Chain A
Amino acid sequence: MTRLNIALLLAVIASALYLVHTQYASRQLYTELDRANAEARRLETEQQRLQVEKRAQATPLRVEQLARARLQMRTATPAITQYVVNPLPTPAASEVQR
C-alpha cells in the first residue's frame, strides 16, 4: 500500500512538473507566434508602402517628363504610326475593331 502511494505521489509530482514545463513552452511558443504575426503585418504594410512608392515613381506626369526631357521622345500620332494587321485576330483585337 505504502509503495503504491509513493509511486502515485512520484507520478503526480512528475506530471505536475511536466505540466509546468508544457505551460512554459506553450507561452514561449505563443510569444514567438505573436512576434511572427507582428512581423508579417509589418512586412505587409511595408509592401504596401513600397507599392505606393513604386507607383509614385511611375505616374504619367513623371513618365512624360522623363520621356520628353531625358529621352527626347515625343507623342506618337497616327501620322507616325504604322498600323499592321494581326493575322490571327485575338479577342482583344476584334473587340477594338468592332
Chain B
Amino acid sequence: MSRSVLYATSPLLASKTPVWRSKFIVGMIALGFVGLGLRAAYVQVVGNEFFQRQGEVRFARTLELPANRGRILDRNGLILASSVPAASIWAIPEDVAHDDPQVRAKLKELARLMGMPLKDLMGKLADEDKTFVWIKRQLDWDLGQQIVGMGIKGIYLRKEYKREYPEGEAAAHVVGFTNVEDKGQEGMELAFNDLLAGKPGSRRVIKDRLGRVVDGVGEISPPVDGRDMQLSIDSKVQFFAYQKLRDQVQAHKAKGGSVVVLDAVTGEVLALANYPSYAPDKRQNLSGEQLRNRALTDTFEPGSTMKPFTIALALETGRVRPQTVIDTSPGRLTITGSTISDTHNYGALTVEGVIQKSSNVGTTKIAMQMPAREMWETFSAAGFGQKPQLGFPGVVSGRLRPYKTWRPIEQATMSYGYGLSASLFQMARSYTVFAHQGQIIPATMLKSSEPVVGVPVFSPKTADAVRKMLQMAAGPGGTGQKAQTLGYSVGGKSGTARKQVGKSYATNKYRAWFTGMAPIDRPRIIVAVMIDEPSNGVYYGGAVAAPVFSEVVQQTLRMMGVQPDMDVKPQIVAEVVEEPL
C-alpha cells in the first residue's frame, strides 16, 4: 500500500468518529428549522397585527387635506376677502452655518428680502437649542419661492394661507380680519367665522422610498371648504361713502366720523364706513381709534335728529296737525328750574316749521302734551335702546331709560335727543319708519332677495307728513340746506349735540349729525352721517355732516340707476347724434 500522503496515518484521524456527533448536527439543523417555522408562525399568525402596524408606521403617513376658507363677497359678487397661498419661513437654527462667510452673505440677502433687520434675523437664529423657529410668517408666495431658491441650509418654507382684502381700509370695519391662524378676529370674519372656516380633511397613504404616494389606505375624510358669504354691501357705494367721509373729517379737523347707507326698501346695509380706518393686511401699530367700528359700537346723544319721532307721535295721536301753530317765543322755556333754549327766537312756528328750524322749545311744548309712556313706547318701537339684530360683533343697544323714571325735564330733553343715546346705525335704521310707510324694517348685512316685513310704528299718512317736514328741513329756510343734491329730492334732519364730558356737557366739543333719505317721495336709500368733534370753526350738523350726505346720496342713487326726480338744467354740450347702425 503506497501512500503519497502521510497524514492518514495521523493517530488523530485514526480514531473513530462517534455516531452521536452527526446525529447531533442533524438534530440541531432540524431544531433550527423548527425554530424558524415557529417564528414564522408567530409573525404571520399570533403577532400579525403588531407587525402589520409597525410596518405601516414606517411607510404609511396621514396627510392633512387643507380646507379653503370661504370668501367674502359684496352684493355684486366682487371679492372683499379671499384666501391666497402665503409662504412662511422657518428655520432649524442648529443647521444654519453662521460662520461660513458665504452663508452670512446669503443671510444678509435673506434679511433684505424679508424686510427685517439682519440683527433680528440673527437673533432668531441664535438659540441653537430650538429645533423650530418661525422667521417670518405669511410672506408673498413669490417672495417665498425666491427665498427657497437661495438654498440656505436650515431655512425652510411652509405653505400657509393668508387673507387678501382688495378694498383695503374702505371696507375694513365691515369685513374685519383674521389672525395668522386664519381665525376671524373682527367684523364679518369674526361674526361668520364658523361658516367661513372649512373643516380640514385627512387621508392615510403609503409612501415609497422617494416620498411618492403609492397607495391609499382606509377611508378618506374629504375636506369641507368654508362657505362664501355674500354681504349686502356695495363696494362702490362703500368706497365713495368712505372717501367723502374721510375728506370731510380731514377738512374739519375732526376726531372721526361714520356713515351708514341703508336700502330703504329692503333694509340692506349698502355701506358702513368709519374714519379713521386701517389697512386690514398691514396691522402693525393699530390704535383703538382706528379699530373701532364707531357706527355700530359707539353711542351718542342724537340731538335734533330725534325730533321727527316726537313730532310724528304727536301727529299720529292727533294732538297736532302739520299746520298747528306753536308759539316758541321768546326762544326759551323753563321746566322745573332748567331752561331750554333755541339759537334764535323764532316766534310762532307751525309744526312743520318746528322741524324745519329745529326748534327745541317748539318740540318740547309738543312733547309735554304727551305722556312719558307713549313717548317711550314709540322710541322703543323705533329701535332705541334695542340691540340691532345684525349678528355683528360689538353691536350696542344704546340707552333709553324706562319711562317710569323720567322726570319732566328729562322728558323734555329726550324729545329733542338728549338724555338717551343711540349708535349711528340705530339712527339710520330708525329712519326707515319714515321711509318705509311708517314701518320699521329689520336691517341686514347679508344680501337678501326676500321682501321685508316691517313692523308698523306710525301710519303711512304720518310718515308722509314727516317726510314732507324733513324735505323742508333740507330745503330753503331749513337747517340742512347743504344736504341738497343735484337731480334728487332729499329730506333729512341735521343734529348738533354737545359732547358729554364727565357729568356735564363740554362747551366746545360737538357731534354733527345728519340723517336723511332720498328721493323723498319714494325713498330708496337712507343715509346717516356723524362727524365727531369738528374743530375747524364750524360744527353744525347742517354745515359739517350734510355735505357728506349730499354727495353720498348723489353717487349712490346714480349707481343704483334711480332716475332723477327733479328737473335739472342740462349742461350737455354735444348734441346727441343717432349712430348709424
Contact = CB atoms under 8 A, between A and B. Distances in A.
Of the listed residues B213, B487, B555, the one surrounded by the most CB atoms of chain A closer than 10 A to its CB is B213
Contacts of B216: 30
Interface in B436-453: none
Given A49-B85, A52-B82, A78 B168 contact: no
Interface string B367-409: 0000000000000000000000000000000000000000000
A49 B141 contact: yes
B569 interface: yes
Interface in B232-251: 235-236, 239-240, 243
B561 interface: yes
Contact of A79 (B141, B166, B486): B486
A46 to B, nearest CB: 8
Interface in A20-76: 26-28, 30-31, 34, 45, 48-49, 51-52, 55-56, 59-61, 64, 75-76
B166 A59 contact: yes
A45 B225 CA distance: 13
Contacts of B85: 45, 49
A30 B572 CA distance: 68
The A interface is mostly helix, strand or loop, or mixed, namely helix
Given A49-B85, A51-B82, A59-B239, A34 B213 contact: yes
B572 to A, nearest CB: 6
Contacts of B243: 61
Interface residues of A, number: 30
B214 interface: yes
Given A51-B79, A52-B84, A82 B561 contact: no
B564 A60 contact: no
B570 A79 contact: yes
B486 A77 contact: yes
A79 B567 CA distance: 9
Contacts of B205: 34
B486 A78 contact: yes
A59 to B, nearest CB: 5
B34 interface: no
B554 interface: yes
Nearest to B554: A77
B312 to A, nearest CB: 24
Nearest to A46: B85
Contact of A49 (B84, B167, B562, B568): B84
Given A60-B236, A60-B239, A96-B561, A79 B215 contact: no
A98 interface: yes
Given A49-B85, A51-B79, A96-B563, A56 B164 contact: yes
Contacts of A78: 486-488, 558, 564, 568
Interface string A8-30: 00000000000000000011101
A48 B83 contact: yes
Interface string B192-223: 00000000000001001000111110000000
B240 A60 contact: yes
A79 B236 contact: no
Interface string A73-94: 0011111111100000000100
A97 interface: yes
B571 A79 contact: yes
A55 B487 contact: no
B207 to A, nearest CB: 10
A2 to B, nearest CB: 27
A55 B79 contact: yes
B314 interface: no
A61 B79 contact: no
A64 B244 CA distance: 13
B79 A98 contact: no
B463 interface: no
Given A27-B215, A98-B522, A61 B563 contact: no
Interface in B522-566: 522, 554-555, 558, 560-564
B576 interface: yes
A83 B570 CA distance: 10
Nearest to A61: B239
A96 B562 contact: yes
Nearest to A50: B84
Nearest to B167: A59
Given A55-B78, A79-B569, A97 B563 contact: yes
Contacts of A81: 572
Interface string B256-294: 000000000000000000000000000000000000000
Contacts of B569: 79
B170 interface: yes
Contacts of B562: 96
A92 B572 CA distance: 26
B84 A60 contact: no
B486 A30 contact: no
Contact of A80 (B78, B554, B572): B572
The 8 closest A-B pairs by CB, nearest first: A78-B487, A60-B239, A27-B214, A56-B166, A78-B564, A34-B213, A49-B84, A78-B568
11 contacts: A31-B213, A45-B84, A45-B85, A49-B85, A55-B78, A60-B240, A80-B570, A80-B571, A82-B570, A83-B563, A96-B562
Interface of B: 68, 78-79, 82-85, 141, 164, 166-168, 170, 205, 208, 212-216, 235-236, 239-240, 243, 486-488, 522, 554-555, 558, 560-564, 568-572, 576
Given A60-B236, A79-B569, 13 more contacts: A31-B212, A31-B213, A52-B84, A52-B164, A55-B79, A55-B166, A75-B555, A77-B487, A78-B487, A79-B571, A81-B572, A82-B576, A92-B561
Interface of A: 26-28, 30-31, 34, 45, 48-49, 51-52, 55-56, 59-61, 64, 75-83, 92, 96-98
